[in-house]
Homo-oligomer: A and B are copies of this chain.
Amino acid sequence: MGNNEKEFVKEITDMEKDFATWYTDVVLKTELVDYPPVRGCMVIRPYGYEIWENIQKELDRRFKETGHKNAYFPLLIPESLLNKEKDHVKGFAPEVAWVTQGGEEQLNERLCIRPTSETIICTMYSKWVKSWRDLPVLINQWANVVRWEKTTRPFLRTTEFLWQEGHTLHSSEDEARKETLKILKIYANFCEEFLAIPVISGQKTEKEKFAGAKETYTIEAMMHDGKALQTGTSHYFGDEFSKAFDIKFQNKEGKEEYCYETSWGVSTRMIGGIIMTHGDNRGLKLPPRIAPIQVIVIPIAMQKENVLSRAMDLAEFLKQNFRVEIDGREEYTPGYKFNYWEMKGVPIRLEIGPKDIENNQCVLVRRDTGDKEIVSLDGVGDQINQMLNDIHNTMLLRAFENRQSRTFTASNIEELKNIYDNKQGFVKAMWCGDRACEEKMKEDFGVTIRCIPFEQEKLGDKCVCCGRPANKMIYLGKQY
């Protein structure tokens, strides 16, 4: 079995050498996903899907706590509906899948598989909303969507993916804007509190905003390799869609007005963010609050009397408060199991052998730091609880430090060139607001404006690109 112990590390490409291959190795070998024989799609295997379930559970709780309810709208959208809002259709029509035949029947009008549901939802909202008493409408949907992507990677960009999309209606611009930002805040807090991913919140530029939105807000995370992942977006629509779809209400004064609208979403892409923020050359490193298994119990010297049964009792006991599994496989050595569960990213390994049982203790090993601790079985639940919290905080801090160490400042084009010739990361800079500069930087360095962050810093008063007066601080970065 000696060979097996080295196998895992061997199987995963060194992340510093080839991050993209490291990523693919990790998602496949840890059985998060697999490739089906369907172009650009992914199968989310149980270990990956459980992460999604944990994300869903907590986000859903936060949405409901803030008054939102779930509903379900059709997968298929008639072409004529998609065409109703001109910017929206321009953005999405080139990348939708079309159903042209149903059963034996050739369809008169093609149906697209939803790439997002604004059009079908707005159609229903225009039937449902009549009076100010019907507002606000606060509806969310958990669903699959399809976008015909050219290059795909599991979780990050797939033809089909799972997401939630909230769609809300309000009687005033102010209320709709508040909703847009309230949700962005929920996303940001969730990322930090559950995924241990620090994010930068801000606004997208005109060029980068959602097709049909008036304003798009975003949370941007930095991956281990210094590239940016747009992790969630929240859009303010004004009354554009309401006008296109005729969503009107009678206000308190009896006058008809158009509704103000928002939409917002996060997707299975978040799982890609978790992998690329925290993972290392041994594999996954899962944040404890969404890890499918928080503690893996590994009995040592299992053949000895009582070891397995005591380990099982302990696992059962811990299951009352944590997500716990026991690895009682006879065909593998403890060493093999250590490597296996490290690769799978389980936050805590609990070892228990004959000596431990004798001394009423067990060994806890942290996945994030590798630190070992011998703890008494009497207070083991409290110890684990504390350790899981500490792992979360440590992971968040490390991700934050990585971002800090890879965030640079540039005040002119030479400095920008210098940075991106040698490094990967975020650049903070001033921008004049001109799209030409935005496009030039993309062309020259392959970077996009990730956002105009809410937390502005004054880094001078000249545009990093053209040198003209500038009063917006931006984050630049290469994107996934």
Contacts and interface: CB of A to CB of B under 8 A. Distances in A.
Given A69-B46, A102-B148, A148-B105, A120 B160 contact: no
A100 interface: yes
A309 B146 CA distance: 48
A43 interface: yes
A437 interface: no
B113 A99 contact: yes
Most buried by B among A41, A45, A95, A103: A103
Nearest to A109: B39
A383 B162 CA distance: 42
Contact of A37 (B39, B41, B78): B78
A36 B245 CA distance: 14
A77 interface: yes
A338 interface: no
Given A71-B49, A73-B36, A98 B101 contact: yes
A43 B101 contact: no
A139 interface: yes
Contacts of A120: 36, 38
A102 B139 CA distance: 29
A71 B45 contact: yes
Copies in the complex: 2
A326 interface: no
Interface residues of A, number: 57
A299 to B, nearest CB: 18
A371 interface: no
A50 B64 CA distance: 12
Given A49-B72, A73-B36, A97 B96 contact: no
A314 interface: no
Given A75-B144, A144-B144, A160-B75, A70 B97 contact: no
Contacts of A95: 103
B104 A97 contact: no
Contacts of A41: 74-76
B100 A98 contact: yes
A99 B98 contact: yes
Contacts of A148: 102-103, 105
Contacts of A42: 74
Nearest to A111: B38
B111 A102 contact: no
A34 interface: yes
Most buried by B among A36, A44, A95: A36
A124 interface: yes
Contact of A70 (B49, B71, B123, B159): B49
A81 interface: yes
A98 B354 CA distance: 61
A406 to B, nearest CB: 33
B77 A50 contact: no
Given A37-B81, A70-B46, A100-B101, A75 B146 contact: yes
B74 A160 contact: yes
17 contacts: A34-B124, A34-B127, A36-B123, A36-B124, A43-B71, A44-B71, A44-B72, A48-B71, A49-B70, A53-B70, A76-B160, A94-B103, A97-B99, A97-B102, A103-B148, A105-B148, A113-B113
Given A38-B76, A38-B120, A41-B74, 8 more contacts: A34-B124, A36-B123, A75-B75, A76-B146, A95-B103, A100-B101, A102-B159, A143-B144
Interface of A: 34, 36-39, 41-46, 48-50, 52-53, 69-78, 81, 94-105, 110-111, 113, 120, 123-124, 127-128, 133, 139, 143-144, 146, 148, 159-160, 162, 331
